[in-house]
Amino acid sequence: MDIVERFLKYVSFDTQSAEDAGKTPSTDKQLKLAEYLADELTRLGLTEVELDANGYVYATLPANTDQPVPTIGFIAHMDTSPDCSGCNVRPRIVEAYDGGDIVLDARQGIVTSPQKFPELLDHVGEDIIVTDGHTLLGADDKAGIAEIVDAMEYLLQHPELKHGKVRVGFNPDEEIGLGAHKFDVAKFGCEWAYTMDGGELGELEYENFNAASAKVEVRGVSVHPGYAKGKMVNAARIAAEFAAQLPTHETPEQTQDYEGFFHLLGLEGNVEHASLTYIIRDHDRARFEQRKVFMQRAVEWFNVKYGEGTLQLALNDQYYNMREKIEPVPHVVDLAVEAMRACGIPPKVRAIRGGTDGAQLSFMGLPCPNIFAGGLNFHGPHEFLPVPSLRKAAALVVKIVELTARRAGN
């Protein structure tokens, strides 16, 4: 199966994950793709194919050489973001993109334009897979899955390429920060691995945000507004006031590179009750801790103003910057850089303004940098995937496997 056909098959599965579901996977529909992948890997000839009770898929490409070679792994996630629908994805291939506007839905005037998305211009002349403007595409991270499966099929078909044991892992719930929580690192049995979950061609990332979630609950008192003086406590208004007190220049839309932020994901409520949901991000661990303290003190200050217990804060760390776990094993990054250059891909080593399963896995004992999967504008209807990037990522997986064996032999 051609890799484009494979990718288009994967995006036909609706695998959107869901916050606060209280189960793994968070949505049963993720299991449909998991079952399909387990069957596909078995058909291709991989061994030790397993779909566990939590929806994680594991498989092995057996070594075809007697020399000792480190066991390495490749990982991608099956779910798509809760931020945008992944149901009934209708992809379309724009052949030899000409650099102009791409009309996704002429009737509703939905257009992907290089004026708003200038990264399109880096792919003039290439075939590009786009959406119909009403769902995300799902390249995050079904492109990564397609690249890994395609590479495993290629290696099985080319036994002249000597390699060690390679492990493959596909997990649910990365988009809600839970992809690695039930990943069986011991069973995976790798010295190191790579997540194929990055964006633009050439991206290689081993730094990411430190991350926490914060939920502020506001308890109000409802009284008839005509007789409310001195009695009413308007939870919705207090919530809006709280949101306005956080630094307005430290939000995602105002920051870049290594700058951290507070991101208000949602605000809802009425007079009696309101809630605000945030994520807190910073690459620097000390500044990350300061941001959490700032949030705690803001809640305390509001409780002084409006009465103890009016605001309650639930603050939870999600993941940390993998850099501290990757720097002691530099060969893991060096190998990926060497493989990119061998494939004619200029490496773009940069910090992730986000997180991957690899961050959590690195702290679980599996060093796991992140490599590009090729898609851009994730989590929305303007997501697109250049076909050459998809193919080059699959070739890169093959080259990493090949170089791992070659280095071991030397």
List residues with catalytic annotation. Answer: 79, 174
Our CA dihedral for 23, 28, 30, 35, rounded to 10 degrees, sits at: 110
C-alpha distances (whole Å) from 254 to each of 260, 261, 335 are: 10, 9, 35
**Cβ neighbours of residue 391 closer than 8 Å, sequence gap 6 or more:** 3
DSSP string, 281-344: EESSHHHHHHHHHHHHHHHHHHHHHH-TTSEEEEEEEEE--THHHHTT-THHHHHHHHHHHHTT
For residues 29 and 18, give the distance between their C-alpha atoms in angstroms, rounded to a whole number. 11
Closest CA to 401 of 148, 203, 144: 148
Helix, strand or coil, per DSSP, at residue 265: strand
Residue type, 81: S
The two three-digit tokens of residue 278, written as one number: 């945030």
In 160-236, at which residue ranges do the beta strands (DSSP E only) sit? 166-171, 192-198, 203-207, 210-219
Phi-psi region of 91 (alpha: psi -120 to 50; beta: other; left: phi over 0): beta
Tokens 């898929």 belong to which residue? Answer: 57
CA angle 70–74–80, rounded 5-degree value: 165
For residues 128 and 104, give the distance between their C-alpha atoms in angstroms, rounded to a whole number. 12
Q: What are phi and psi of 219, to 5 degrees?
A: -100, 120
Helix (H) / strand (E) element for 372: namely strand 370-372
For residues 156 and 255, give the distance between their C-alpha atoms in angstroms, rounded to a whole number. 45
The two three-digit tokens of residue 283, written as one number: 């690459």
